[in-house]
Structure 1
Amino acid sequence: MAEIKSALELALERTADVKSDKASLTAHDNKQKGRKLLSEYFDDPTINLKKRLKDFDREHRPQIRRGLFDALLGNLTLPSDENHLTRIQALQPAFEAVLDDSRHLPAVFDQITSILQQYIRDRKQLVDQLRQQFEGKIRQREQELARQTGQQIRLDPAQDPEFSKTLQHHMTQLTTQYQQVVDQAREQIEGLYKA
């Protein structure tokens, strides 16, 4: 007769091979502390990150530093607007606090800032050009609706499915091009990081 096992016994069998690795848990916790440091920095950019890193135990500092560095890289993204770009520019002093040799960082940040400003301009220009391109079609639809309903109706190109589809297509192409540049900047900064 087959032995009937309790749910607890089944769970214990399945997890028998899973052992908690204290070192990897500690490493994970330390990296989380590094990420939290970045959050504190965003709340108060006057924080001295180098000093804050030195406040941690020497043995845990490399993992905390790596967590902070990874969080910084994660925030180096394509900006959605000027405010987002300002936040990205605020990353430079934080990177300088984490990198042992940050001599090349200002040049990298000048380059990435210039490119990201161009990205914001290109996004706006793309939207403006497409709106202009679709303006005639939208006005025709407004006239048709006015004849049908007897009321003036103002349409926004963003409500037009064809406009939205075209905008999405072109925006994806633009984002892909600029994302490659951001990825290259991340790689350059990663190259400046020494464990």
Structure 2
Amino acid sequence: MQPSRPAVTLVAPVAGFLLGVLDFVWITRVPYPFAELGNSTATWAVAAFALGWWVRSGPVRAAVAAVVLLVVAVPSYYLAATLLQGDDLAVIWSPASLLWMAFGVVAGVVFGVAGTWARTAGWRRVVGTALPAAVFVEEALRFALKSRSGYPDVWWNVAIDLALAALLVVLVARSARLRLLATAVALPLAALGAVTFAAVAG
């Protein structure tokens, strides 16, 4: 049974608040290399996917809910940094914060819709299933490139991201055939994501 509109309206901002706060707690309390999952854009993208999967009532509602989740999560993260670490509260409305919220709008639309696609049929189901794995593969590629710049320990992060990508394919896909198709689609999607990220970050 799909959740009601009031339930979605309530859950999206609450989940965003929890994502931001718990993310900051995670990176300050969990040891390396697992702490890096808190700094992971892939983790936040998969959170948006999971909310879209839960909403499952249509791409528009899923996209809006996922956008709310990620946009609320950004100031919640900085609020936690203020309360738990004494950071300046002004960082909540800093240009960097606003930029991350803008990225949250884009990622929320893409991964919120992907969550609903993963519940449909045809090529949309394959792409929707592939996207959460692809975003972790893309992040693994970025970590691997860091190893060439004097960061030898990042191979732990590469291994963790690839393991999570494989786990997500197994959990989201409902058949061996869909898992194989999603894996095949995830690889070019990851390459496209890596190029896009490099263009935006560069």
TM-score, normalised to structure 2, is 0.31
Determine which structure has the larger helix proportion and give its number: 2
TM-score, normalised to structure 1, is 0.32
